[in-house]
Structure 1
Amino acid sequence: MPQQSGYDFVVVANRLAVDRVTTEDGGTGWRRSPGGLVTALAPIMAQSDGAWVGWHGAADEPLEAFDHQGMHLVPVPLSEQEVEDYYEGFSNATLWPLYHDVIARPAFHRHWFEAYRRVNRRFAEAAADVAAQGATVWVQDYQLQLVPAMLRELRPDVKIGFFNHIPFPPPGLFSQLPWRHSVLRGLLGADLIGFQRESDARNFQRVVRHRLGYYIKSDQVFVPLDAPGPGEDASVNGLHADPARGTAPRQLTAPTEGGFRVAEAKAFPISIDTDKIVELSERPDIIARSQQIRRELGEPDTIFLGVDRLDYTKGIRHRLKAYEELLRDGKLTVGEACLVQVASPSREGVASYQRLREDIEGAVGRINGEYDTLAHTAIRYLHHSYPVEEMVALYLAADVMLVTALRDGMNLVAKEYVAARKSGQGVLVLSEFTGAADQLRQALLINPHDVDELKAAIVKAATIDPEDARRRMRSLRRQVVSNNVQRWAEEFLDRLAAQP
């Protein structure tokens, strides 16, 4: 890899593409992260002299750049205070709830945003230092929304893409953000801004038009060359007035020659490493493990499965309420039915997540206390993270997958379940508020806020005609298998390369 001239393809993400592990001799080493993004981009990086810029996961620990399995890894240091303010604070207590329809109340603190701006600048500088002349730089997700414009200031020669892995809120919600203009200008530093759903791209375009007054045509945003950067306040420099302060923004008409650059904003629905899931689902040991799971649960007629991070956006409480009412109404019976709920630990240092865990575990304990029998349990609750092999075994064991998120950028678990069901059996109950619902139209689509509708879908999934279930699953699998994560990455990068 060319160390002197830089790297032709640079990924910038909050985390590096590797996890630190303990070796057999008690030392430490690195292992490639198992996520779909790394899986999709690692081969491209190997072919294109790639570098990955990100935090390595330990606070107050400077680390030199290093190479691992064909990737050049550039650690960005964060202090413990920056982790608290930039990551746990602004990223996950301000942006995350705001972008997920304010299911939880976002908190707005100026010192959080200052840390966010400072850390984004550090990521941008690291990317600028490592990128070759004319390189392609792909910035990932909501933690780094200021990076595109900062990077453009530092390196106007590079081509910049950004992909938002979570929803983008409608203008009415986004406008609550005190630093809305800085975030918009940060994103508009990219040549191509990707979103999970068409509605997310439209939300972004609407808020840009409303807040900044920029001209938009066919997904193209015409950004004035004299527009302020993400570090400047429009209310101070006066270039674009703020409607919230009593004046309208400068309305830009159709652009004439010069004075503008174009940023395109459109949807690129992300997917999964389908081949890997299918391969695992065919392994004899994983099939045997799935059969063992069913035996351990007492061979119920119907196993319902929920797999989520323990997050308030995932609708776990609504799912438990619906299941409990079905047991109470006699529509489901313990022994004939069992719910397996995997709730992976998430942000355990944040108070709201600690309260959510207490609520969920309290509900599970109450339901099991009321409906368990000596031979069977109503809900098998698992507060763990599991390797992908065990997850695929669970997918094979489950008759019904319950994805009841209140708001989700995509929800890849739904796609993994479908990919694993090569037999054509199994039913997916899917929230219409997930990005996956735009593509997986043959699932049983539900509004998770409507508990009665959710209950009806659960009963239908348990009693569905087998041929109807197979027809639906065949259609779902065609969609998932033909649109894997590698295709997603290629389509985004091809579109970015085509930008003028």
Structure 2
Amino acid sequence: MPAGEHDLVVVANRLPVDMTVADDGSLSWTRSPGGLVTALAPVMQRNAGAWVGWSGTPDLEHEPFDGEGMRLWPVRLSESEIAAYYEGFSNGTLWPLYHDVIVDPQFHRAWWNAYVSINRRFAAAAAEAVAEGGTVWVHDYQLQLVPAVLRLLRPDVKIGFFNHIPFPPLEIFSQLPWRRQVLEGLLGADLVGFQRESDAKNFLRAVRRLTDLPTRGRVVTIGERWARPARQVRAASFPISIDSTAFDALASSPAVQKRAVEIRKELGDPEVLLLGVDRLDYTKGIRHRLKAFGELLADGRLAAPEATLVQVASPSRERVEQYRQLRDEVEATVGRINGDYGALGRAAVHYMHHSYPMEEMAAMYRAADVMLVTSLRDGMNLVAKEYVAARRDLGGVLVLSEFTGAADELTQALLINPHDIDGTKAAIMRAIAMEPTERRRRMRGLRRRVLDHDVQRWAEDFLTALANPRPHPRPLVEDE
């Protein structure tokens, strides 16, 4: 395949813009929010980069175009392909499987066939875009087969892959009927990145058990095959972050600080304001959080409306039955708590099932006394880092699930097992009663980590490791 013109190509399920086509055929687009766009846009602009991804609109076919300082390369997906590849295999099979089977994954051959076909389409677009000897960085669980297909098409390029969600233990991953094909897809990369060291260990263990490829430390060796030379694949952790400096500045602006005061006043100036912010997803532990708060009210250890929980649950995958069920359960639980413990015009739980702009979220973070992150399994959880970045005042306490990637870094948080309701309740009460000196000390340590390790550093660390492989990487796991 002839080479393209871009030294760096990013491949992700979505483009960094939302595209729409008017009735007259004219194209318009707006930049999508998100940390990945923030992290990679400056790098792409410096390297004449291209971004391959779906436009977000079914059946939209469009030639590559320039936007956000890079070349945007749309991949067309039909309604039926979105249903099978994205809603089906990606989010009905891989998402629950990779999140410790919190709900049962579904294994359908038609979904798998669509996943294979769409991954080949993304790989072909990347192969067309990348220059001779260039670099392709593939992102996330929707595109795990792209590295191997791309290597067949363009053996001259460097290929990196980053998995934004957890990689499951062997005993869970082995349930996947197409487990070997997925591993072979990932092993098309030169560098496979994960959020946590444990994810990299899980991947390497799966390679050792499910393939005949030799591994040593972090390195998998792919032997010669026909005309292809031997090569090495490395696995390592690169914990993602946020644009912490920008978020710190936003949260410290006079407008946001004023809005934070208004939020507390609108809520009736509670003595204690607890906050949860999540996508409405079964991995986020929202039901566990509500159960713990409801029991604290029932026990008389907290009283509403003096103690108030604000739960923001942005809509997510609402065409999937499991997500509709979750919404019904969460709303029923909120209704019971408010019916039992709320006061006239003063709810115990304020539940919002919609998204907010970043300015409003920053104000909520500044207003909250306690941030509750109770995920049952999470690759990272950037909400925890946003809360820390927002607290230049060193106020607030972060209660953080040990099953998030963020728990490896944010060790000054109060770490919890969200399945342990009594332990979660104890952590909430400890956060509420924490002395100001300890609160400031903990938040100072958290902010040091979040501000030093921002999303730009994450991107630079990964691309540097991809460009400059270490000849003797430090051991990650023992050989078996």
Shift of 1:157: 0.4
Which residue number in structure 1 is paired with residue 46 of structure 2?
47
User: If the length of structure 2 is used for normalisation, what is the TM-score?
Assistant: 0.95
Aligned pairs for 1:235-384 (under 5 A) are: 260-384=230-354
Which residue number in structure 2 is paired with residue 254 of structure 1?
none
1:451 to 421, 445, 453: 421
Q: Is the 8 A contact 2:6 2:48 kept in 1?
A: yes
Q: 1:190 to 1:95 in 2, by over 3 A?
A: same
Shift of 1:63: 1.5
Deviates more, 1:264-273 or 1:211-220: 211-220
User: If the length of structure 1 is used for normalisation, what is the TM-score?
Assistant: 0.91
Tell me the SS of whatever aligns to 1:335. coil
Distance, in Å, in 2 between the alignment partners of 1:320 and 1:39 is 33
Distance, in Å, in 2 between the alignment partners of 1:491 and 1:77 is 31
Residues 288-321 of structure 1 deviation map (CA, whole Å, 9 limit, x = unaligned): 1111000000111111000000000000000000
Distance, in Å, in 2 between the alignment partners of 1:150 and 1:103 is 31
Distance, in Å, in 1 between the alignment partners of 2:213 and 2:436 is 52
Are 2:184 and 1:185 equivalent residues in the alignment? Answer: yes
Which residue number in structure 1 is paired with residue 474 of structure 2?
none
Which residue number in structure 1 is paired with residue 221 of structure 2?
222
Structure 1 moving runs of 4+ over 4 Å: none
Shift of 1:404: 0.1
Shift of 1:29: 2.1
Which residue number in structure 1 is paired with residue 121 of structure 2?
122
Shift of 1:349: 0.4
Q: Is the 8 A contact 2:84 2:115 kept in 1?
A: yes
- Unaligned stretches of 5+ in structure 1? 228-257
Aligned pairs for 1:113-192 (under 5 A) are: 113-192=112-191
Distance, in Å, in 2 between the alignment partners of 1:76 and 1:422 is 42
Q: Is the 8 A contact 1:298 1:375 kept in 2?
A: no
Q: 1:182 to 1:487 in 2, by over 3 A?
A: same
Shift of 1:335: 2.2
Structure 2 counterpart of 1:195, one-letter code: F
Which residue number in structure 2 is paired with residue 245 of structure 1?
none
Deviates more, 1:213-222 or 1:347-356: 213-222
Structure 2 counterpart of 1:264, one-letter code: R
Tell me the SS of whatever aligns to 2:376. coil
Q: CA RMSD in A?
A: 1.8
Which residue number in structure 1 is paired with residue 478 of structure 2?
none
Q: 1:470 to 1:209 in 2, by over 3 A?
A: same
Q: 1:353 to 1:181 in 2, by over 3 A?
A: same
Deviates more, 1:142-151 or 1:368-377: 368-377
Q: Is the 8 A contact 1:201 1:267 kept in 2?
A: yes
Which residue number in structure 1 is paired with residue 408 of structure 2?
438
Are 2:378 and 1:408 equivalent residues in the alignment? Answer: yes
Which residue number in structure 1 is paired with residue 363 of structure 2?
393
Q: Is the 8 A contact 2:190 2:232 kept in 1?
A: yes
Residues 353-401 of structure 1 deviation map (CA, whole Å, 9 limit, x = unaligned): 0000000011111111111112421000000111111110110010100
Share of identical aligned residues, percent?
A: 63
Distance, in Å, in 2 between the alignment partners of 1:425 and 1:225 is 57
Structure 2 counterpart of 1:384, one-letter code: H
Shift of 1:7: 0.4
Q: Is the 8 A contact 2:372 2:400 kept in 1?
A: yes
Which residue number in structure 2 is paired with residue 56 of structure 1?
55
Structure 1 counterpart of 2:363, one-letter code: A
Distance, in Å, in 1 between the alignment partners of 2:93 and 2:150 is 23
Structure 2 counterpart of 1:112, one-letter code: W
Shift of 1:19: 1.8
- Unaligned stretches of 5+ in structure 2? 472-480
Q: Is the 8 A contact 2:3 2:129 kept in 1?
A: no
Distance, in Å, in 2 between the alignment partners of 1:215 and 1:198 is 20
Aligned residues, how many? 467
Tell me the SS of whatever aligns to 2:245. helix
Bigger relative contact order, structure 1 or 2 (CA pairs below 8 A, ≥6 apart): 2
Distance, in Å, in 2 between the alignment partners of 1:225 and 1:366 is 63
Residues 254-277 of structure 1 deviation map (CA, whole Å, 9 limit, x = unaligned): xxxx96310000100000000111
Structure 2 counterpart of 1:18, one-letter code: V
Shift of 1:4: 8.6
